[in-house]
Structure 1
Amino acid sequence: MQGSKSLHVSQICCATLWCLLSSGIIFGFAALKPILISEGIYSEFCLNPESNQIDTIIKSAICSAQDLKLNFIFTASAGITNMMALPVGWILDTYGPRITGIIGSFFLTLGALLFIFHATFVTFIDPYISGYIMLSVGGPFVFISCFQLANIFPRRSGSVLALLTGAFDSSSALFLGYRVFYQKVNPSFNLSKFFTLYLIVPLFIFICQVTIMPHESYKTCGNVAKITVEGLDESGHLVEGDDGSMLVPDPNERELLIAQLEDDEQREPSQFHRESGIPLGRRKSVLETYVETKLEEKSGGIFGVLHGYSVIDQLKTPWFYLLLIFAIISMIRINYFIATIRSQEEYLLGDELLASKINEIFDLALPIGGVLSIPFIGVLLDHVKTFNVLKLLSCMSVIIAVLGLIPNSFFLNLIGILVLVIFRPFYYTVISDYATKVFGFETFGTVYGLLICISGICNMGQSLLDQLTHTKFDMNPTPVNLGLLLITIFSSGALLIYINIQLKKQNRSVNLNDEALEPLSDPHTD
């Protein structure tokens, strides 16, 4: 047993390490971009077509095309990495975590090789866009394949997921470390040398997958979500090693519920599962009913709204497509800023040195802010009603948009950046939490994967916003940011109004049912 525990700890440690070095490294693009510029990537777009040399007089106008080309590297990659959520989930469920992780290591290797031999590939493909896209594809494969590890220690599943998520948020710091080394220590350590060294990472992932990592998933993503949210397994029972004290604090009530659970299982075990063995058709255990009732109260009535409905029926409701619209706008805002932070701040502050300082702070704050905010986000989700959490998320999105419109204020722009680095992990966590509570655990993987996938596809429109800023608006980010602000207000307002109306209807229905159940008063006692 001890040996097994040591193996499990090793699996979690290895997964955390490779997530830190691969899962979300593409989001460190703001730190990598100065190196790409220093290495002369796409510098040919700055050539004067007449003299075939860089013309200092028209360099800024022509190099806007270079800037667009560089930004498109991130735009395409950010969109594709989110689009991969759905197919990666299917591959994980079909072929298991080992194959999923090996596929991820293959894409990471391919991405690194494209950067290493960019001079060879440049004649027939764009090695920089293609290489970065390969890194963006490999990230979700190696990250999502780790989710099932959360059930190695069921009572600590939330902590394991937080650890893996923290590694994902911190992975953007890889390119920050490279930039610091490149600029301060060794300017000759170019992209080819860096990615040659980086080949160690996919090799490490591959070796781990074929040696110590599990071939079969311990649990599906939906089961892991159920354990994390409810503290119960897929059959509505306590997870191994849990006495239920955290779920039911009162010892007498807990003892009664567990006794009823055991009695039901002995008397009518067939009612817990269909003949096929799929737990979708089972009757909920008494403990599960108790926990979900408490969760419904804690979430303000949102938990369980669409549980038990088919995926098709769930996708047709405003609960899904209003959230989808808000998610798309939020994702575009986050990724648009990551890609264009330097040019936006140069215009708003009118000072290249201040813009560079803002850029450096952002590069450091993005991974640190994500890690430090995770515990507080968890506490917030546990103690605040879901509707109020959504209102807070919407307010943060509006604040970020407003602060992005203010010129000549280093302090206010800095505040906006610090809010953004907290908003990013908060946004992804709240969307996931909403999906589990509203749509249920059985359809969680499909609904959440589809939501992120569609958002990723729409994220490609970010390049059009970037192009408008460079051409039509002469590098002024205000019109685009103002448009995003108005759409944010509209999308978040529509979602909040709809949820508020539904919750009021639900409360009204509950009150009417309670009144109907009240006994008629005795006229003799009046």
Structure 2
Amino acid sequence: MSEVPQSRRLAQCICAVIWCLLSAGPIFGFAALKPILIDEHVYEHACDVSSSSMSMQTASILSKPAEFFVTADSTAKCTNQDLKLNMMFTVGAMVTNVSALVIGRSLDIYGPKVCGLLGAFFLSLASVIFIYARTISAAASFIDPYILGYGFLSLGGPFAFISSFQLSNAFPKKSGIILAVITGAFDASSAVFLVYKIFYNKSNGVFTIANFFKVYLVVPLFMMLAQITIMPSESYKATAKHITVTSEDENSPLLESDASSSNARPLGRRDSIGDALRQPYEEEGQEQLVKHAGGIFGVLHGHSARYQIATPWFYLMVLFTIILMLRLNYFVATIGSQYAYMIDLESAQKLNKLFDVALPLGGLISVPFVGLFLDNCSSVVILTTTLAISLTIGVFGLFGNYAAGVINICLFVVFRPLFYTVVGDYCAMVFGFDTFGTVYGLIMTISGALNFSQTILDKLTHTTFDMNPIPINLILLFLTIVIGFSTVAYVKVQARALHESK
């Protein structure tokens, strides 16, 4: 690393922050994009007033005023249009999370430059598809350019974001800060569509989606040029002593003879994600980490990923991640329709606008507080608090009250970055860094794939429950209680047992 000038490393970090800010996760700003899609008549062809396809709209009107599906700032014209629009976000969120394992392995094998270039390619492809969406629809009606474009946008972002992790080791003494800034840029990237929405409204609809993506093409072009000119081909490696607990250091009965010592790890790009995330933990020192983990640090360090994923430590966290991620994404996709039903259309639009601003802002504001929380609390306390906040959000989501909606949104935007950080912190503490890319990627992949069930929940809300979101929210809340308490109880019991055995 000493061969790379400091100015070049600084430029690399700045470039990564810029493209993460513009491309890492704009799909999560769907609540801001959806009104524009409606205004541009996307999927409006799915509405047929003269046919039975409008029967669900009629059923909805029985419990809500007719204005619910009337053209407005954030409301679809019919059930079919609303379901198709929400499907865009469902597919996008699924692709983002399912791709984590593939991207992680690609980074480990091919390095950050290749991953960055792939990210630029998928973002370019997404932009071109959106630019020519109407032409594609007219030429090939069996192709849905909006879902296809949103899918590629969802794939390009993680390639750009995950390949930037290794830059935390460009300045080892500042690695924690760099990771925090990159993560903050990811959270703030949901504001991309909010900014677009502002310009769209000011232009009175002239700045169409096609025109926006013509401008957005600058982002992948910038990424491509940066990767070719100044970005590293190899991942920066942590230089401090590895703190992975090996079989010789650990007396835990879970370790078996097939466990592989981290010190025997072959050289190369392998585990570049783990190397990127290793440095901030190493700076704390092993003694501090063991204290911080509350007894669970190192419990499965040194084991193969195959062994780790066969334990309750893994599959309980998978279930915990699935249910929380499902609730998060369901809320993002349906916030407008939920509050339109529970309160009224005007209040729903106000809450939707608040959410558009609060989502990226909450991510940025919460970064230092999340760091302090993770640094000063045990893993059991962290998981318990995460569960408690999630349940509180679930309860507030049952009240058809504007004040409750504001509180719910404020809690949600702080909880979202906390949740994703907690999952990563748990994986580092329990599974270690040498298998981090595989294990964490697998958790996110499984969770993302099963989050496609959000479409079922969305359809049930529109049909069976006549747009009433409370039954689905109650079901999700109940599952969170069962899975959450099971996970926390297991970790707490194991932590106590491990502490007593030492």
Shared fold (TM-score, shorter chain, > 0.5): yes
The question of 1:431 aligning with 2:446 is answered no
- Aligned ranges 1:391-470 → 2 under 5 Å: 391-407=384-400, 409-470=401-462
Question: How far is 1:292 from its partner?
Answer: 1.9
176-185 vs 366-375, which moves further: 176-185
**Cα distance in 1 for residues equivalent to 2:460 and 2:53:** 27
> Which residue number in structure 2 is paired with residue 76 of structure 1?
91
The secondary structure found in structure 1 opposite 2:423 is helix
Query: In the TM superposition, what is the alpha-carbon distance from 1:276 to its structure 2 partner?
Result: 5.6
Q: Offset at 1:417?
A: 1.0
| Alpha-carbon separation, structure 2, partners of 1:295 and 1:215 | 32
Aligned mates of 1:139, 1:272 — CA distance in 2: 31
Aligned 8 A contact 2:29 2:356 in 1: yes
| Corresponding position: 1:24 with 2:28 | no
1:36 to partner: Cα distance: 0.1
Q: How does 1:3-22 map to 2 (within 5 A)?
A: 4-22=5-23
Q: State the alpha-carbon separation in 1 of the partners of residues 229 and 283 from structure 2.
A: 41
Output aligned runs, 1:297-336, within 5 Å.
Answer: 297-336=291-330
AA aligned to 1:120 is T
Tell me: CA distance 1:154–1:64, structure 2 relative to 1, closer, same or farther (3 Å). Answer: same
- Distance in 2, matches of 1:82 and 1:470, equals 26
Q: Which amino acid aligns with 2:335?
A: I
What's 2:490 paired with? 498
Once residues 52 and 314 of structure 2 are traced to their aligned partners in structure 1, the CA distance between those partners, rounded to angstroms, is 56
CA positional deviation for 1:3: 8.2
Identity, % of aligned positions: 48
1:110 aligns with 2:125: yes
Given candidates 100, 112, 120, the residue that maps to 2:115 is 100
Moved more, 354-363 or 182-191: 182-191
Helix, strand or coil at the partner of 1:214: coil
Instruction: Tell whether the 8 Å contact from 1:104 to 1:141 is kept in structure 2 after alignment.
Output: yes
1:15 CA drift (Å): 0.7
Compared CA separation, residues 425 and 50, structure 1 to 2 (3 A) = closer
Relative distance call for 1:441 and 1:189 in structure 2 (3 A) is: same
Stretch of structure 1 that moved more, 44-53 or 183-192: 44-53
List alignment gaps of at least 5 residues for structure 1. 237-270, 281-286, 511-526
Q: Is the 8 A contact 2:295 2:496 kept in 1?
A: no
Q: CA deviation at 1:312?
A: 1.4
Partner of 1:150: 168
| Alpha-carbon distance, 1:310 to partner | 1.4
Give the 5 Å matches for 1:95-494: 95-122=110-137, 123-124=139-140, 125-219=143-237, 232-234=240-242, 274=264, 291-349=285-343, 351-407=344-400, 409-494=401-486
SS of alignment partner, residue 496 of structure 1: helix
Secondary structure in 1 aligned to 2:494? helix
Kindly indicate whether the alpha-carbon contact (under 8 Å) linking 2:126 and 2:148 is maintained by their aligned counterparts in 1.
Answer: yes
Q: Is the 8 A contact 1:235 1:272 kept in 2?
A: no
Question: How far off is 1:218 after superposition?
Answer: 1.1
CA contact (8 A) 1:400 1:420 kept: yes
Q: Distance in 2 between matches of 1:272 and 1:20?
A: 34
Q: Distance in 1 between matches of 2:262 and 2:284?
A: 16
> How far does residue 294 in structure 1 lie from its aligned partner after superposition?
2.9
Give yes or no for contact 1:80–1:136 (8 Å, CA) kept in 2: yes
Cα displacement (A) at 1:48: 2.5
**What TM-score results when the alignment is normalised by the length of structure 1?**
0.83
Secondary structure of the structure 1 residue equivalent to 2:285 = helix
Return the alpha-carbon distance in structure 2 between the equivalents of residues 436 and 406 of structure 1: 37
Give distance in 1, aligned partners of 2:243 and 2:485.
38
Separation in structure 2 between the aligned mates of residue 361 and residue 333 of structure 1, nearest angstrom: 19
- Change beyond 3 A, Cα 1:326–1:274: closer
Higher RCO (C-alpha 8 Å, min separation 6) = 2
Relative to 1, partners in 2 of residues 1:288 and 1:127: Cα closer, same or farther, differing over 3 Å? closer
Counterpart of 1:268 in structure 2 is: none
The 3 A distance-change label for structure 1 pair 7 and 344 is: same
- Secondary structure of 1:301's aligned partner: coil
Q: What amino acid does structure 2 have at the position aligned with 1:92?
A: L
Give the AA of the match of 1:333: R
Question: Is contact 1:45-1:62 (8 Å) kept?
Answer: no
Q: CA deviation at 1:93?
A: 1.1
TM-score (norm 2): 0.86
Q: Give the CA deviation at 1:274.
A: 4.5
1:90 — aligned with what? 105
Q: CA deviation at 1:50?
A: 5.4
Gap regions ≥5 residues in structure 2? 70-75, 245-260, 272-280
Q: Which amino acid aligns with 2:457?
A: L
Q: CA deviation at 1:186?
A: 3.8
Is the Cα contact below 8 Å between 2:302 and 2:432 reproduced in 1?
A: yes
